[in-house]
Structure 1
C-alpha cells in the first residue's frame, strides 16, 4: 500500500512546488518570499526552503529590499539573468537562425545566416543547425551558464513526439530525423532536444511576450515562403489528432489556380506567400527577386517603393492584403480568436496590407464590428523574423520550468557572468 509519506511522493511534491515558484516569478516578476507564499498558498517556511534551493541551482537570486505596509521589509526574489538558457533554431527556405533566451525571456544571442537551406538537403541543413547550436552553447557556457534544451523550428508537418519532420514541401524534406541528428552532433540527450513547426513556435513566442501576450485565444500567421498558422486556444497550443494543426497555407482558395510546392493547385500560399509577393512587385531580374540577397534588405526596398508611391508596388500590396483577408476570414469564423498576429513579411508590410485585409474581414466574418465587444484584432508582430526561433528557445526551457531540479548545482567557484545580448546577420553564404 502506498502512503503519502513515501520519499518519491515528497520528491515529486517538492519538484511541483519548485516549478510553481519559478513560474510565478516568470509570469509576475520579482516578489518577496512572503508575497510568493501568499500567491502559491504555501507556508513561509516551505517557501524559504524552496527559494534557497532555487538560489542554489542559480535559477533565482535575491534582489532589492522593499518595505511593506506592515511587518519587516522583505527582500525580492527574482529570476537570475543569463544563467539557465534555451536555444532556439530555425531552418527556413533561405536562411538558418539561432537564438538564446534566458529564463526571463531576455535575448542573449541571435544570429541569422542567409543560405539556400533547401539546396543543402535535410542532412546538410541539420548539420548547419547543429553548428549554430554548438556555437550558441559555447557562448552560454563561456559566461558560466547552462543550456536547458534546444528546439528547432521547421516549416512543415512535424512529428513532435518522434522528433521527425514528416514533410516540408518548401525545404523538400521527407522523414528528416532532426532530433536524432542534433542529439548525436551536440552530445545532448534526445530528451533535451525537440523539433516543432515554425508557426507553432511563433505562436508560443507571441503568447508569451509578443503583441498579443497573455491572449488565451490567438492565431499566428507566418508570412514567409510558406504560409503557416499557429493556434493558441484556451491558453494552450492546439495540435490536433496527429499534431499537424495549422497548415493553413494549403487551404484551396482557388482549385484551378497556380501550382503550389505541396503538389496541389490554388493554395492560399500561392496568393499570399513570399514568392507571390516578389513576383507581384517586381519583374524578373529586379534585385528584389534575387534570392542571394538578404530578405530584410529586399523587403526594405519594397517599403521604400511603397512610400514613394510606386503604382505597381501599391497595387500588388492591395491585392495581397485582400487575399490575406479572405483567407484569414475563414480561419476567424472557425476559430474565433481574440487576435490574428501577422508575422514575417506580413508584419514588415503591415502599413499597406492591414487595411485591405480588414475590409475583407469586416465583409466576411460573421462576428465582427462594433456590436461585438472584443472582436478579433489584426495585429502586426513586433518580433519580426525572430518569432519562431524565440519560440524554440522558450520551448527549450520548458524542461526546467516543469522540473527545476534538472538545473545542476554549480561547482564551487563557478560564477555566472552577465554578457550583452548579441544579434547578427551573416553576409556569408
Structure 2
C-alpha cells in the first residue's frame, strides 16, 4: 500500500500549529536565521529564548530533553535514553555517527546526501551539504491577528481593547480602532481582507446561480407538468431539456464555461445555474402535478384571469417546495462554488488550492476550510428558520382559505 498515515498526521499538525525554523547556511558566510515558516517577514532579529548562540556555537532546545548543537560543519543531536548523534558535513558527503551499540531508530533517515531525524511530531532536524535546519512546532496560528513586524504584534486581547478606546493615538492621523482594524485586515500573511472578499465572491456565485436556476426552472416546470401543459410533445421536449441540463455534472459545465468565457465568477454562476435548472425544474414540475385541483377550480370559478389563476390557485401551493428546495440547493451550492472556484472560477476555492499547492501553509488551508464550513453552517441555520417561517405561514393561510 502507498498510504502514508505518518504524512497525514504531519499535515494535520501543520494545520493547527506553526513551525519555527532555525537555519544555518554552510555555503558562503555561515549565517544563522530563525524564522516562522510560511510567513514573508517573520524573521527574528534576536533569536528566541530556546535558541542560544555563543560565537560559532548554536544550541537549540527542542523541549523534552532534546537538544541540538551546531558548530561549523558539525551537528550533535542529543536524545534522552538514546544518546548523542553526531552529524558532520564533509567534502565526500554527510557522515552520521550513532551512539556506540545503538541501532538506527525508525525516526531517523541518514544517507551520504541527507540527514533527516524526527524524534517526535513537533521536532525535526535536517542536514544537507548546503545547510543545517532545525524545526520546532508550537501550537496555534502565529501572527493570525497582526503581522510579525507590526507594532501590535504580541499584544494581548486586553491591551488591544484598551488601545482601541484610548485617546492617545499611536498614529496621529489615524484613530486607534482604525489602526487595529487596518492592521488586521491587511495582514500580509493571513490576508484576511482578500479571504473575506473571496468568501463573499463564493457566496454570491452560489446565490446568483441558484436564484437563476429557480427563476428559470419554475416557468419551465409549468411547461413540463401534465396538468398544466396538454401538449405531450412540448412536455417531452422540456423534460428532455431538464435531463440534459442535470445529466452533465456541474464541474463539466464549469470547464465548458471556462473555455467559453475565461476564468472568473461568471463561469461558476453559470455552471450552477445550468445544472440546477434541470434539477429544480424537475422537482417543481412534480410538485405542480400534485397540487390540489379543488383550490385551482375555486379560483377559476371566480372568473380569475390566467395571472390570477396562477397567483392564487397554484403558487401558494408550491411555495413550500419552491422555498425549501431552493434554500437546500443554495446551501449545497456554497460547497459546489468552492469546488468550482478551485478550477478557476475564483472565490475561496481558488485561494484554497493556492495554499495547498505550496505545501507549507496548511494552517492557512485550515483557516479557509473553517470559514467555508462556518458559512455553510450559518446558511443552514438561517435557511432552516426561514423555511419554517414561510412554510408555517403558508400552511396557516391555506387552512384559513379552506
TM-score (norm 2): 0.24
Structure with higher RCO (Cα < 8 A, 6+ apart): 1
Higher Cα Rg: structure 1 or 2? Answer: 2
TM-score (norm 1): 0.23
Structure having the higher helix fraction is 2
